[in-house]
Amino acid sequence: MAEAAPLYHDIAEAPAGGRAVWLRTDDGVRIRVGLWPAGAKGTVLLFPGRTEYVEKYGPAAGEFAQRGYAMLAVDWRGQGLADRLLPDRAPGHVGRFGDYQRDVAAVIALARAEGLPEPFHLVGHSMGAAIGLRALHDGLPVRTAVFSAPMWGIRMHPALRPLAWGLATLLPLVGMGSRLAPSTDAASYVATAAFAGNVLTRDPAMWAFMQRQLAAHPDLAIGGPTVQWLREALCETRALARLAAAERVVDIPAIRALMARWPGGRLDLVADAEHELMMEGPAIRARFYDAAVALFDAER
């Protein structure tokens, strides 16, 4: 039986019956998983993006439960209530991008130990989609996969890309990999940015929801990524590109290129939306969940 972990019900806006547990990965890192087991048709494995945490996807658990699916979500190492990997909790950091696959392995073992209904279905958002794509190539036992704004490339001005690569390669070699990446700081973007002009959502209610969460539980927040994280992310997205609208965070051409080579894959570009479709207005959220569940149901 996995050890009980905190689940902040006061901010999750999730269906009843949810709980959280601690897991130890095979390299000893403690991560947290939220479980919402109601639903007999299967289980959604929700892989969040960078900076995110279990409670942010409480509403998603409700959406999937209404459509007949259980759900779990994970706090990746270095964020949420999982072990932070530096003495300073603020930066988002990872030693190697492949270490996230250790978290994935622990999550799958838990899902099976808990007897969550199968088949499993992957929903990966942003960084979670990069982790999920790698996991698929490594044999992740899911029937289907849905990706939201997948981080299969990092959007930046072409003139800055050589500089980013240079700094991300050099600084870790001289012991500076734990420094914040250029142009970022230790503050949480959601906690400090104004709604006007934000790059995550065009829905003021969902923006307020995210801000309320971090105001109530600032221990969930992280700031910008470290140089080490940037190096690992650049290397991983380049490697993923060799596998098989309005977006201002990830690289749409990289997504198009990968999906063009994916047999049976379908790419939907959603107009009038920012980076987080599951945090957009009601119509866009419903469109996302309905499309995801239509795929799940077709492959049962």
State mean pLDDT over 37-58.
97
Find the mean pLDDT for residues 255-264: 81
Residue 91, token pair as written in the block: 């930066």
pLDDT of 249 > 70? The answer is: no
Q: How far apart are CA 202 and CA 199, in angstroms?
A: 8
> pLDDT tens-digit profile of 117-153?
999 999 999 999 999 999 999 999 999 999 999 999 8
Domains of the chain, by residue range, sit at 3-298
Place 272 in a pLDDT band, splitting at 50, 70 and 90: confident
Neighbours of 193 (CB within 10 A): 15
Give the pLDDT confidence score for residue 248 in this predicted structure.
56
Which of the two residues, 182 and 30, has the higher pLDDT score? 30
Cα(143)–Cα(295) distance, rounded to whole angstroms?
10
Say if CB 223 and CB 90 are below 8 A apart: yes
- pLDDT at site 243: 65
- Interval 155-176 mean pLDDT: 88
The CATH homologous superfamily for domain 3-298 is Alpha/Beta hydrolase fold, catalytic domain (3.40.50.1820)
247 confidence band (pLDDT: 50, 70, 90): very low
Average pLDDT over every residue of 269-273: 85
Most confident of 161-170, 196-205, 264-273: 196-205
Query: What percentage of residues in the chain have a pLDDT greater than 90?
Result: 80
Q: Taken in order 27, 61, 148, 11, is the CA torsion positive or negative?
A: negative
Q: Find out whether the peptide bond into 162 is cis, omega within 30 degrees of 0.
A: no
φ and ψ at residue 151, rounded to 5 degrees: -85, 70
Question: What is the average pLDDT score of the chain?
Answer: 93
